[in-house]
Chain A
């Protein structure tokens, strides 16, 4: 594995769109070639080299490439979007779409991320050490195929509308979350280790949501089924299992209706 280190040397005046900042785009390139990779600010076409000083070089493939980014990236969008392999470590906050549509590799943001991060994620590992904004691991507008796979962990809190139309994979929020969690979810697993505000599992078809703390208001469409002892993300405890959303359609398997499940730690 070879390492490329990018250090911010100029802050964008508006916001910099750098969907080209991925191991996939860097693979096989030397520092001076990476510097020429396009980036965009409104209708101004620019390059990564305009905004970063670049050291080191990429591996032959994405999988053999590690990217380390230093400096303030809080006005940069699409970092790591669509990455398929390799490793990225961002020592900063980042803006929207960080890790959006990623299919593989490992992305670590050692700060906060804005909205739409991990959107439509299909695979790989995405770790956010700070807080995440809204629409984390949700689907793009209109798409019924949200997060499909991979693991996304937020060490801080997350905003609202997370995991909309989730179909697979796992999202762990170690802090609290705001409203509308797992809306229209049809698969996968969400773990909230702190509190959830309201509207958890609205229109839930299938899939599992775990909440360790409190839910401010339960949805009327959830009904208590039983208490079970489970180990969830390293914590063993008794959880109250709710079935829902009873107002929503549910698939059948072998004649049995399959409900979505909400677990509240007792």
Chain B
């Protein structure tokens, strides 16, 4: 394997607390090493006047699997004029709001990302998720199976059987090659199978005699019982509705009851995703307002929580979530096409195209809330930038979101030119904030922070010798920072270099190597559990439409696996 030495660049690495100092980064055998460890034949890269960060890590995006793909094929209009072959070692790339697998891999890489977490994997469809991950070039990926409406979980937690819950989670992670515990609209999606919903954390789930609060708490306990690398990852109840911030605060407070327990350096017990959709005040869309401040006051005070933003990018996009009832509700508002799949015993999914228009006050308020959340975050190691791709906008807009966060002038220009600017300024607090996110903070929000939250901080998210050589070099000179948002946008859209596993995969925005992407998953050993075994056999016999023998993801679906093994056999 080749050796490299990246010289004269400005390094931003929260792991080593390096804030833009000039430092040489050496690479050998896919790892970062001390500069003294590479031979004189190491290829030298001149990064003078450039910014160096670890490869960025996407903590929450919908990039592979059944609903993503349904979104692709039921929206031919999303790519009729957006399908291109770009220069470099690439395949045809198509799709604006839901890029094809090829475009997904390339675009993340061009932006300096080296890892993406698929945020919702229905276990029954795990094979599909992995087939797409397999075909996505360059970036490492993992997927979170959904648990919050799973019949096994509902039945175990009704009786507070944490050990059985944990054993079942371990079994599912193994069967699906999954990474952690995702919860989407706990209880509400099961209710949706009857056309109903759970809109607070205390609404009972029909027929299952359990509440969302009990599901969330129980799953947090099981997660820590197992000591998984990532915490519970939750999309809360009542997404997208005016006044929902109270439900949000109720859910966040559940994290106070559980203590983190793991060997991965993770401090949180709950990751709250796309918080923007959950920080609304008001009683209706007519008087919706930002409650970002209230929500962030709480988040800042509770170190057991990490979150991602879910920034609205003001584009036409495609919403998709395992929150089935929400999508039905959305389609009754915008009357666009609606795709829904209910998945036996496990979950559901809905998809509706959506146009976020700067001329619509609600959309502009959502835009402001997303930015407020990040700007109010006291600890950038617990706040991560996402667009809940493609829900609030496509991930390809990250550079623009970053420009809004890093340049107050650009942000205010946008804010002040909304059609109903006065109203937006009145209903949000964005105009009062002059904070600009620094490059160092950005490195925390997009690298070191997500890595820590995912329990991957040992090898990823930093540039310390010994860590994986995933490195992004941007055309940004910290000694002469851009003064215009669009310059940030340009620089973040196309890396000068992207190293993946120590190999140059992108150079000057052009893909030069497809790398060797890996699939991350978590293999937990638990005590043999007769009850869970019995239940699995019974449920497959009686209620599933596939046999247990055909449920798991075969090994060759993921040719390059990065398995995180842990032992949770309790004495």
Contact = CB atoms under 8 A, between A and B. Distances in A.
A217 B167 CA distance: 62
A10 interface: no
Contact of A140 (B74, B76, B336, B337): B76
A141 B335 contact: no
Interface in A113-145: 139-144
Contacts of B337: 142, 144
Interface string B43-75: 000000000000000000000000000000011
A224 interface: no
Interface string A96-111: 0000000000000000
Contacts of B434: none
Contacts of A139: 77
A249 interface: yes
B92 interface: no
B15 to A, nearest CB: 45
A5 to B, nearest CB: 30
B333 interface: no
Nearest to A139: B77
A142 B336 contact: no
Contacts of A143: 77, 80
Contacts, number: 18
Contacts of B76: 140-142
Q: What range describes how many residues of A lie at the interface?
A: under 10
A144 B338 CA distance: 12
A144 B352 CA distance: 12
B335 A249 contact: yes
B335 A142 contact: no
A24 to B, nearest CB: 15
Interface residues of B, number: 9
Nearest to A144: B336
Nearest to A205: B335
Contacts of A249: 335
Nearest to B77: A143
Contacts of B335: 249
Nearest to B78: A142
A144 B76 CA distance: 11
Interface in B411-443: none
Contacts of A144: 336-337
B466 to A, nearest CB: 49
A139 B77 CA distance: 9
A142 B78 CA distance: 9
Contacts of B80: 140-141, 143
Contacts of B78: 142
Nearest to A186: B335
Contacts of B75: 142
A25 to B, nearest CB: 16
Nearest to A249: B335
A144 to B, nearest CB: 6
A78 to B, nearest CB: 13
B176 to A, nearest CB: 31
A249 B336 CA distance: 12
Contacts of A141: 76-77, 80
A23 to B, nearest CB: 19
Contacts of B77: 139-143
A140 B77 CA distance: 7
Interface in A214-261: 249
B72 to A, nearest CB: 11
Contacts of B336: 144
B92 to A, nearest CB: 13
Interface string B285-305: 000000000000000000000
Question: Which of B75, B77, B78 has the most chain A CB atoms closer than 10 A to its own CB?
Answer: B77
A140 B75 CA distance: 10
A172 B75 CA distance: 29
A165 to B, nearest CB: 10
B252 to A, nearest CB: 38
A119 to B, nearest CB: 10
A142 B79 CA distance: 11
B416 to A, nearest CB: 29
Nearest to A101: B81
Nearest to B332: A249
Nearest to A82: B81
Nearest to B79: A142
A144 B75 CA distance: 10
A148 to B, nearest CB: 14
A45 B191 CA distance: 56
A145 to B, nearest CB: 8
Looking at A140, A142, A249, the one whose CB has the most chain B CB atoms below 10 A away is A142
B430 to A, nearest CB: 31
Interface string B141-183: 0000000000000000000000000000000000000000000
A157 to B, nearest CB: 28
A142 B335 CA distance: 14
Contacts of A142: 74-78, 337
Nearest to B335: A249
A139 B76 CA distance: 11
B75 to A, nearest CB: 6
A121 to B, nearest CB: 15
Interface string B309-352: 00000000000000000000000000111000000000000000
Which of B76, B80, B336, B337 has most chain A Cβ within 10 Å? B80
A241 to B, nearest CB: 25
A72 B57 CA distance: 57
Contacts of A140: 76-77, 80
Interface in B77-136: 77-78, 80
A114 to B, nearest CB: 18
A143 B77 CA distance: 5
Interface in B336-388: 336-337
B338 to A, nearest CB: 12
A159 B336 CA distance: 27
Interface string B537-566: 000000000000000000000000000000
Nearest to B74: A142
B558 to A, nearest CB: 32
Nearest to B353: A144
A25 B78 CA distance: 24
A83 to B, nearest CB: 15
A129 B74 CA distance: 35
A260 to B, nearest CB: 14
A161 B336 CA distance: 20
B273 to A, nearest CB: 29
B91 to A, nearest CB: 15
A185 to B, nearest CB: 14
A104 to B, nearest CB: 18
Given A140-B76, A142-B77, A143-B77, 15 more contacts: A139-B77, A140-B77, A140-B80, A141-B76, A141-B77, A141-B80, A142-B74, A142-B75, A142-B76, A142-B78, A142-B337, A143-B80, A144-B336, A144-B337, A249-B335
8 contacts: A139-B77, A140-B77, A140-B80, A141-B80, A142-B76, A142-B77, A143-B77, A144-B336
Which are the 7 A-B pairs with shortest beta-carbon distances? A143-B77, A142-B77, A142-B76, A141-B76, A140-B80, A140-B77, A142-B75
